[in-house]
């Protein structure tokens, strides 16, 4: 996929597999992909800066990650191994259909294993397993502008970014503390990238913010409806905004994962019955299954529960 960033490579055009004659490689035409790659290169050169791009219609509705899909299409190469997650899970309708889309239009191999993937498209989570050099994480972004909550005028937010005038971001955090006694923003928690631009990390839980900091993988963000691409290059400083007397903290969970016993992971609440029964399990399904395959057991895992069969 490093190769895929180059415009001059002879990519397979219409000859990927039998069922794909109707499509160009990865659906988008080469000119569009070049345009998106130029936006991505600019985004990498200016970490955290929102680069406008001419977002295309994709054969799926907005809200289904059309920005992420276009970024993925533009950087995907024939040798890539693709993983797609939605809220940490590989098997939601959204994740499955995007994975199928690229299997069909690009003929690439797919996986659910974080370790095996060279490119991971995600909606709202970062895998628990640390990412490594050479991997690319593509985020689906609904609203790229972190200042929009307080300043709806785009002419003004653009100026604020240009001047690194980010006091407003702290007004938002101030309001949180005034109202809730602590910074209650738990998703889309604003970060400062490379000491310069303030960026919305997309609606990932703030739990994942520390994973963005000095991450070995390249992180790309695509907002389809809003026509913006931004990036965090590998090994780049990403700092969550806070106050001196209210420092940034991630969520913690009282109990370990009920299935794999992992501590320190991000858990989802699963309702078991209509009598208030519930359990907390890893949101990252691949992480959870790997642990169970390695013999780890949580409090509610059935004996002999084989990895991958629980959900």
Partner 1 sequence: MTDLPLLSARGLTKFYGERLGCRDVTFDLHEGEVLAVVGESGSGKSTLLGLLATELAPSAGAVHYRMRDGAVRDLSELTEAERRLLLRTDWGFVRQDAREGLRMGVSAGGNVGERLMAVGARHYGNIRAAASDWLARVEIEAGRIDDTPKSFSGGMRQRLQIARNLVTHPRLVFMDEPTSGLDVSVQARLLDLIRGLVAELGLAVIIVTHDLAVARLLSHRIMVMRRGRVIETGLTDQVLDDPREAYTQLLVSSVLAA
Q: How far is the CB of 168 from partner 1 (least distance, A)?
A: 7
Q: Is 178 in the site for partner 1 (CB under 8 A)?
A: yes
* Residue 215 annotated among the catalytic residues of the structure: no
Taking CA atoms, 50 is separated from 53, 162, 198, 221, in Å, by: 9, 11, 10, 9
140, with CB counted inside 10 A (0-12, 13-18, 19+), is buried
Q: Residues 6 or more apart from 73 whose CB is under 8 A from it?
A: 26, 27, 28, 33, 36, 102, 105, 106
Q: Is 244 in the site for partner 1 (CB under 8 A)?
A: yes
Q: How far is the CB of 236 from partner 1 (least distance, A)?
A: 22
Strand partners, 271: 278
DSSP state of 246: B
Q: Which is nearer to partner 1, 46 or 177 (CB)?
A: 177
Q: Which is nearer to partner 1, 57 or 244 (CB)?
A: 244
Number of H helices, E strands in the chain: 7, 12
Q: Which of 222, 260, 261, 298 is catalytic?
A: 260
Contact 238, 193 (CB under 8 A): yes
Q: Which stretch, 16-24, 241-249, 283-291, 293-301, contacts partner 1 (CB under 8 A)?
A: 241-249
Separation between Cα atoms, residue 232 and residue 226, nearest integer Å: 19
Q: Is 143 in the site for partner 1 (CB under 8 A)?
A: no
Q: Which is nearer to partner 1, 91 or 151 (CB)?
A: 151
Q: Is 245 in the site for partner 1 (CB under 8 A)?
A: yes
3-state secondary structure of 5: helix
| DSSP for 138-149, written as a single string | EEE-S---TTTT
Taking CA atoms, 107 is separated from 27, 56, 137, 139, in Å, by: 11, 21, 19, 21
Q: Which is nearer to partner 1, 128 or 192 (CB)?
A: 192
Separation between Cα atoms, residue 102 and residue 186, nearest integer Å: 32
Q: Is 179 in the site for partner 1 (CB under 8 A)?
A: yes
Contact 183, 246 (CB under 8 A): yes
Q: Which stretch, 19-27, 69-77, 165-173, 270-278, contacts partner 1 (CB under 8 A)?
A: 165-173
66-125 binders of partner 1 (CB under 8 A): none
Q: Which is nearer to partner 1, 21 or 244 (CB)?
A: 244
Structure tokens at 305: 């529960």
Q: Is 243 in the site for partner 1 (CB under 8 A)?
A: yes
List 2, 6, 34, 159, residue binding partner 1 (CB under 8 A): 159
Strand partners, 83: 120
List 41, 109, 150, 307, residue binding partner 1 (CB under 8 A): 150
Q: Which of 215, 222, 261, 288 is catalytic?
A: 288
Q: Which stretch, 122-130, 134-142, 243-251, 267-275, contacts partner 1 (CB under 8 A)?
A: 243-251
Q: Is 174 in the site for partner 1 (CB under 8 A)?
A: yes
Q: Which is nearer to partner 1, 180 or 278 (CB)?
A: 180
Nearest by Cα to 215 from 230, 199, 188, 235: 235
Q: Which of 257, 261, 265, 298 is catalytic?
A: 257
Q: Which is nearer to partner 1, 164 or 272 (CB)?
A: 164
Q: List the catalytic residues.
A: 48, 257, 260, 282, 288
> Residues interacting with partner 1, by CB under 8 A?
150, 159, 163, 165, 167-168, 170-171, 174-175, 177-179, 243-246
């Amino acid at each position: 996929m490093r190769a895929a960033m180059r415009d001059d490579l002879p990519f397979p055009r219409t000859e990927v597999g039998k069922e794909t004659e109707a499509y160009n490689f990865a659906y988008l035409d080469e000119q569009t992909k070049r345009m998106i790659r130029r936006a991505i290169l600019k985004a990498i050169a200016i970490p955290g800066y929102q680069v406008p791009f001419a977002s295309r219609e994709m054969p799926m509705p907005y809200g289904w990650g059309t920005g992420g899909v276009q970024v993925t299409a533009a950087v995907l190469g024939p040798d890539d191994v693709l993983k797609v997650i939605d809220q940490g899970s590989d098997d939601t309708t959204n994740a499955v259909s995007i994975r199928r889309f690229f299997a069909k239009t690009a003929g690439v191999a797919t996986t659910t294993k974080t370790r095996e993937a060279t490119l991971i498209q995600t909606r709202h989570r970062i895998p628990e397993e640390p990412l490594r050099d050479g991997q690319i994480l593509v985020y689906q972004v609904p609203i790229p502008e972190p200042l929009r909550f307080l300043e709806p005028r785009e002419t003004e937010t653009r100026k604020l970014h240009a001047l690194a005038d980010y006091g407003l971001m702290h007004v938002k955090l101030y309001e949180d503390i005034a109202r809730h006694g602590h910074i209650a923003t738990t998703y889309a928690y604003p970060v400062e990238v490379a000491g310069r631009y303030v960026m919305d990390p997309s609606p990932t839980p703030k739990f994942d913010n520390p994973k963005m900091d000095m991450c070995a993988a390249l992180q790309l963000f695509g907002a389809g409806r809003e026509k913006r691409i931004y990036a965090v290059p590998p090994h780049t400083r990403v700092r969550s905004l806070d106050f001196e007397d209210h420092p940034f903290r991630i969520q913690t969970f009282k109990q370990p994962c009920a299935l794999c016993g992992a501590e320190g992971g991000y858990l989802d609440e699963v309702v078991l019955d209509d009598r208030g029964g519930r359990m907390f399990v890893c949101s990252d399904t691949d992480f959870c299954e790997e642990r169970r395959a390695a013999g780890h057991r949580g409090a509610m895992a059935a004996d002999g529960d084989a990895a991958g069969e629980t959900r």
